[in-house]
Structure 1
Amino acid sequence: MSSYLSILTQVIFPIILLIGVGVILHRRFQLDMNTLSKLIMYFFLPAMTFIAIYEASISLSLLKEVVIFLLLQLAVLHFLGKAVSKLLGLGEKSAASFNNSIILSNNGNIGIPVNDLAFRHDPLAMSVQMVVVLFEVVLAFTYGLFNASTASIGLKTSLITFVKLPIVYALVSGMLLHMFQVPLPSFVLIPLHTVANSMLAVALVSIGAQVARLGISRYSRMVLSSSLLRLVAAPLCAYVLLRLLNMNGVIAQALLICSALPTSRNSAALALEYGNEPEFAAQAVLASTLLSSLTLTFVIDLSTRLF
């Protein structure tokens, strides 16, 4: 019970509170969603991506083992999402947003504190978590970006748009500076940290503003399907893959928990930027976050029993 309450009070409730602030602000002031989208995509996300990769501390052997699992999981969820999209009869834009809501999970601001609570500051478990976080960052702005932009503006235009995005250069420069261990002066790192740390609040407020624009009943079938796939089907698939790969112990436990996290706010940011059912994407983030308060503790407990 104490673990359950800790996850609720320290992880889920603060997120819901910030989304609620976004709902209130939008209803009071009618926030400009286009401006919010541009701030997130061109300012906050590049800074967060750069800091996450530049300051990562991960061993090569752990990186290889975890990435193999994550790539297999991506393939399974991709085909699962495509199949369910067809069953639901979704159009191209709706399917793109639906698939991103299944594949992109919130392993950053939810996954890290959940890992810390579940494994009581275990460095191996946190190393696994950071590999997943980095993978999610890359995934969001490769697979997720192309998925969102291709449905909206076509493959050729999306490729041109992709190379113009600052997040691409933040990703590459972060990796290069990390690989060659290039130190950055404090007058560069301090503002980068300030912007990166603000990303969560701005993103969640923007999700709240999106939710405030439209009632959930219009997307209830899509939202429910997305949440079930993200919170139930994904960890089931992860369990099968972990068994097939013969992974056990803390690494397997951490990966199973990572697979059960709710939809990433980045899926909503991408949907908003490219006009792929942004209201659904925001509602998918909110619904899966709320429902994860019921499912996460169960998966955490199950991970210790299974592995």
Structure 2
Amino acid sequence: MPILYTFYHIMLPILIPIGIGALLHKKFKFELGSFSKLILNYYVPALAFVKIYESKLSAGLVVSVFGFLLLQFIVIVMIGYGVSRVMGYSRPMAASFSNSVSLTNNGNVGIPINAMAFKQDPFAMSIQVIVVVFELFATFTFGLVNASKATAGLKGALIQFSKMPVLYAIVAGALLRVFDIPLPEPIVTPLDQIAAGMLSFALVSIGAQMASAKLQQNTSAVLLSSLVRLVVSPLCAFALIQLLQLHGVAAQALFIASAIPTSRNSAALALEYGNEPGFAAQAVLLSMLLSSVTLTVVVDLAMRLF
């Protein structure tokens, strides 16, 4: 798969709505705080419920992929904390930096990239669904606690976590899936529509946040964040894939997922709890911009190596 073909058919369709969001924000000056609340409390719970409720995955596949994702997540979190300690970041900055390197945009960006890279292959998308579910758990457990404990303490963070709608959406979707309980169409239809609308809204909101961010402070931290997220993470993933002897489409999908840029949710959490939101927005901005190059290379390598 030539590099230019990969960029044209996979990355460009993602970058266009982001660019539109940036242009719209320049003209209308959106309230980004409202965007984050909509994503965290409306779109993400619907997406989490639908993906879990509709998934058809074997237990063995779920366990093996979750095992890989957990090992990778632990390694990246340790690297994030190590960098923060070496650089002497403050507590809020360390929390924001750790989230920026460990939380990825595998829902908003990873799903369409997977769909286009594998031409809607059901097995590849099943792998991506597991990744998205794992990311949701990671974001609204570790990510939320990590962001809020810097300002609210661990007890306050756990209270905030218990209030997150996505927690109950995940539990409800899993229970209905396990017991094979069908939902009436008037409930399924709006949930599907909300989940489907998340991609467009999230990409536009990323563009709006990128338009409002400027690379004028914490430049070294932003560069380090992008380096870990876009380069170190796929290198770690490659090593784990070799260690766990994963092959074929599963290895390809996981390798690509490891190189997805920083999560919009990491910036939303930073904005919500006041953990260096300027840095977090810049981390999303730079990682998204650089990923147009790094992801193109990673997708091409995934098809060649596995």
TM-score by length of 2: 0.91
Other-structure match for 1:284: 283
Could you tell me whether the CA contact under 8 Å between 2:6 and 2:299 is conserved in 1?
A: no
**For the structure 1 residues 151 and 10, does the alpha-carbon distance in structure 2 shift closer, same or farther, using more than 3 Å as the test?**
farther
The verdict on how the C-alpha distance between 1:10 and 1:285 changes in structure 2, with shifts beyond 3 A counting, is farther
Match of 1:255 in 2: 254
| Native 8 Å contact 2:213 2:281 kept in 1 | no
Match of 1:40 in 2: 39
Unpaired stretches in structure 2, ≥5 consecutive residues: none
Deviation at 1:10, TM superposition (A): 4.7
Between the aligned partners of 2:218 and 2:178, the Cα distance in structure 1 is 44
User: Which residue of the partner structure matches residue 65 of structure 1?
Assistant: 64
| Kept after mapping to 2: 8 A contact 1:36/1:206 | yes
Structure 1 match to 2:93:
94
> What whole-Å deviation, never above 9, does each CA across 1:232-253 have from its counterpart, x for those lacking one?
1001111111222222232222
Which letter does structure 1 place at the counterpart of 2:199? L
Aligned pairs for 1:219-258 (under 5 A) are: 219-258=218-257
Mapped to 1, the partners of 2:170 and 2:102 lie a distance apart of 20
| Amino acid of the structure 1 residue aligned with 2:189 | I
Measured in 2, the distance between the counterparts of 1:290 and 1:188 equals 38
- Letter of the structure 1 residue corresponding to residue 88 of structure 2: G
Q: Cα–Cα, structure 1 residues 114 and 31, in superposed 2: closer, same or farther, change >3 Å?
A: closer
- Within 5 A, what are the aligned runs for 1:49-64? 49-64=48-63
Could you tell me how far apart the structure 2 residues matched to 1:90 and 1:205 are? 31
Instruction: Report the secondary structure of 2:63's partner residue.
Output: helix
Alpha carbons 1:213, 1:279 under 8 Å: kept:
no
CA pair 129-40 structure 1, distance change in 2 beyond 3 A: closer
Written as runs of structure 1 = structure 2, the 5 A alignment for 1:134-145 is 134-145=133-144
* Alignment partner, residue 129 of structure 1: 128
Q: In the aligned structure 2, how far is the partner of 1:113 from the partner of 1:11?
A: 8
Distance (whole Å) between structure 1 residues aligned to residue 7 and residue 103 of structure 2: 21
Separation of aligned partners in 1, 2:103 and 2:130 = 15
How many angstroms does 1:164 deviate by? Answer: 1.5
Q: 1:305 to 1:98 in 2, by over 3 A?
A: same
Deviation at 1:11, TM superposition (A): 4.3
Q: Does 1:148 align with 2:147?
A: yes
Deviates more, 1:281-290 or 1:227-236: 281-290
Residue 162 (structure 1) aligned with residue 161 (structure 2):
yes
Aligned residue type for 1:203: A
1:160-199 matches, cutoff 5 A: 160-199=159-198
Unaligned runs of 5+ residues in structure 1 are: none
Which moved further from structure 2: 98-107 or 230-239? 98-107
Cα distance, 1:9 vs structure 2: 4.1
Residue 298 of structure 1 corresponds to 297
| Cα pair distance change 1:202/1:112, threshold 3 Å | closer
Count of aligned residue pairs for this structure pair: 306
Decide whether aligned partners of structure 1 residues 258 and 92 sit closer, same or farther in structure 2, where only a CA change above 3 A counts.
same
Distance in 2 between residues matched to 1:240 and 1:130, nearest whole Å? 22
Letter in 2 for 1:151: A
Q: 1:59 Cα deviation (Å)? A: 0.9
TM-score (norm 1): 0.90
Once the two structures are TM-superposed, the CA of residue 204 in structure 1 deviates from its matched residue by 3.3
Cα drift, residue 295 of structure 1: 1.7
- Please give the alpha-carbon distance, in whole angstroms, between the structure 1 residues aligned to 2:295 and 2:67: 24
**Offset of residue 5 of structure 1:** 4.3
Quick one: which amino acid aligns to residue 205 of structure 1?
V
Question: Counterpart of 2:217 in 1: which secondary structure?
Answer: helix
1:45 match: secondary structure: helix
Q: Distance in 1 between matches of 2:303 and 2:213?
A: 40
Q: Supply the RMSD in Å over aligned alpha carbons.
A: 2.2
Preserved contact between residue 46 and residue 167 of structure 1 (Cα < 8 Å): yes
Residue 76 of structure 1: CA displacement?
A: 0.5
- 3-state SS, counterpart of residue 216 of structure 1: coil
CA distance in 2 between counterparts of 1:101 and 1:212 reads: 18
